[in-house]
Amino acid sequence: MRIGFVGLGNMGGSMALNLMKAGHQVTVNDVRRQVAEPHLAGGAQWADSAAAAAKGAQVVFTSLPGPREVEAVALGEGGLIGAMAPGSLYVDLSTNSPTVVRQVHARLKAKGIRMLDAPVSGGVVGARKATLAVMVGGSESDYHEIKPVLDALGDKVAYIGAIGAGSVAKLVHNMIAICSTQLLAEAFTMGVKAGVSPEALLRAVQDGAYGQGMVLNAALPKMVFRDNFDRVTFALKLARKDLGLATELARELNVPMPLAAHAEQDLLEALNKGWGEKDSSASFMIQEERAGVKVRNSS
């Protein structure tokens, strides 16, 4: 397949190489020509602009820093919109704003150009080894058409939903990863200041229910998604007690724990609603009430 690829950074460079390894004809563009040397050595063609990379391509990929760059490359002067042929497919691999994705999609659609948003996760190593997760939003038929190409980028390619859905999923994933790191910082600083080695704490967390994935693999799909909070594996009143003991220890040690303190307030609110005998995952409903949406199975 004739592919244009714009953006050869830490992620994009490896993804473009993997498309080449899969046998595709790849034309590359980046603001720094020197980063394309491995691609050119492997047989890729160089393009002096995004438009030149897109000319004659069946599929154009972008892997760019953010929404501003995507808008400029897709819609700006010398961009993709003026170079891609009607019926060709644009796939944005960037971590992008769902709103921007939908705006770009609408502009391209008016020109007869198809678009998928397909952000990736798995880091530089995943990009190099082609083990990325690829979260795809857009037309399902376009997804099935391009999936054999996407399989060259990652071994966890999934259709998420309509245009922009891939970007929503990526933001959800990254938000959880980033905020979880901050929560780990609170917990580990408390544990270490209380006299336990970080290695021992890590082993305890890895071996426990959380480390075994019970939140993602059991609590969310089997309780929250099914509105099944009366199936109790760990009562909310006990969760409040345990978190209270943790925040009490943190106060004794003068360890600030703002995330844990906020979670404790949610548990107290849940107790005041009479949910103490429900499963601890029932605290999910506090945020649902604030957000005005229930996280339940769609079927």
Helix H segments across 22-139?
A: 37-41, 50-54, 67-75, 98-109, 123-129
Integer Cα distance of 52 and 28 in angstroms: 9
Integer Cα distance of 111 and 85 in angstroms: 9
CA 12 to chain centre: 16
User: Residues with Cβ < 8 Å from 171, sequence gap 6 or more?
Assistant: 95, 98
Are 16 and 62 in contact by the 8 Å Cβ rule? The answer is: no
- Is there a catalytic annotation at residue 170? yes
Q: Give DSSP secondary structure letters for 221-258.
A: IIIITTT-TTS-SSBHHHHHHHHHHHHHHHHHHT---H
Are 80 and 55 in contact by the 8 Å Cβ rule? The answer is: no
Are 219 and 228 in contact by the 8 Å Cβ rule? The answer is: no
Are 6 and 64 in contact by the 8 Å Cβ rule? The answer is: yes
Integer Cα distance of 128 and 131 in angstroms: 8
**Active-site choice (55, 109, 129, 170):** 170
Q: What are phi and psi of 56, to 5 degrees?
A: 80, 0
Q: Give DSSP secondary structure letters for 201-218.
A: HHHHHHHSTTTTTHIIII
Q: What are phi and psi of 282, to 5 degrees?
A: -65, -20
The catalytic residues are 170
